[in-house]
Amino acid sequence: MENNENNVEVAELPNDPELTGLILNSSPHNIYVLDADLRLVFANENCVRFVRDAKGVQLERGMEVLNILEPEHRDVWKKRFGEVLAGQCGRVEETFLFDGKARSFDISYQPLNRGNHNWNRIVVFFEEITARLQREWKQKQLEGELRETIATRETLLSVISHDLRSPIFQLNGLLYLIQQAAEERDEARLQMQAEDLEERIMHLTHTLDNLLSWSNVRRKDFTPQVRKFSVRPVVEHAIGLLKPAALRKGLMIQTSGLNKVHLVSDREMVAFIIRNLLNNAIKFSLQSGRIEITVDSDTPDHLELSVKDYGVGMEPERILSLKEGNQFISEAGTWGERGTGLGLRLCYSFVDRLNGRIFIHSDQGPTSSTKITVRLPKLALP
């Protein structure tokens, strides 16, 4: 028995190599010991098994361990082991490639003292943490998605409550006018109220349509329903739905390249994309302007559909936020039209689901314009 510096009696373990080996081999860690020349002195069974399975190398006493590492790692570990022989300890998390696959490890190393601070041995402990890091990354990803979903939900609830309240109040006022006696009724005001209510209800319908699409695209089992269809009816239907809003601003909608154009894709998703791009163009157009819808199908493997308006243009920061999808921004239109900011973000999500891409080019100034081009691949029928 002997006393340590805290005056606690410690029993000396017998110098039993068999017991020591049993303890080291029962450890869940991979353990090996190097001498001052960085040659292998000892490796427990877990370490021998791991190196054999991962590198196809059979560890033997006296072999130079650094030669097992990839060339780009050798100098780093030679320097670290040199620091250990000078009496330093260390711990790192490091990633190595095994058969082209990245695997991460928690590695700790320290000197062994054989008396008089003579550091002539290095002991290394390592364990694989690839699965743990993947779980942590997945957890962070899920937390980020949850935060984004909560923020989106709160924003949408705020906007929807406003969008629902306004038409209801206006409908109440309209009903009051209708209930008045014919001789007391203000027909001009009644007509104006009815037209304004029609516009608000159309905007609310568009918002609810976007919400339904947003809820669908958030589902994990959501997959595109691919079939062949003509592009012209889809574009013309979108124009018909949004024609009242375009007429109120005196906008002219021009189309080109629609004749005999077919696409193999999800028809409803493509229709949604076109509706939102056209709605966005109307929203930010100036009065008596024009909107151009162009389809280019000359390339055999994809189709490009562009919607161009000559409105206020789009700032570079806004374009970047749409591409990154990290902000939820709603901007008022040229006539103060409100929106959820959801439409273009959903366009990006839908185009991504269809393996396509979106390009935005915008000029601001006296002749400002915005052109949004959707490139969709011509998918194969299932």
Residue 219 is given by DSSP the state S
What would the CATH number be for the domain defined by 2-128?
3.30.450.20
Please give the CATH architecture assigned to the domain spanning 223-382.
2-Layer Sandwich (3.30)
Residue 304 structure tokens = 């490009």
Task: Report pLDDT for 33.
Answer: 93
pLDDT along the chain (382 residues), means of 10: 49 63 82 94 92 91 91 92 91 88 93 72 93 94 85 67 64 72 70 73 71 67 86 93 88 94 91 91 93 92 94 86 67 75 82 93 87 91 75
365 vs 289, 310, 313, 331, CA distance in Å? 15, 11, 8, 19
* Ranges assigned E (strand) in the chain: 2-3, 9-10, 30-35, 40-43, 90-98, 101-113, 119-128, 226-230, 252-256, 262-266, 290-296, 302-309, 357-363, 369-377
Residue 99 is given by DSSP the state T
Task: Report pLDDT for 47.
Answer: 93
Fold that domain 133-221 belongs to in CATH: Helix Hairpins (1.10.287)
CATH 1.10.287 in the chain is located at 133-221
Ramachandran assignment for 337, one of left (phi > 0), alpha (psi -120 to 50 degrees), beta (any other): beta
Angle, alpha carbons 11-17-20 (nearest 5°): 65
Task: Report pLDDT for 10.
Answer: 45
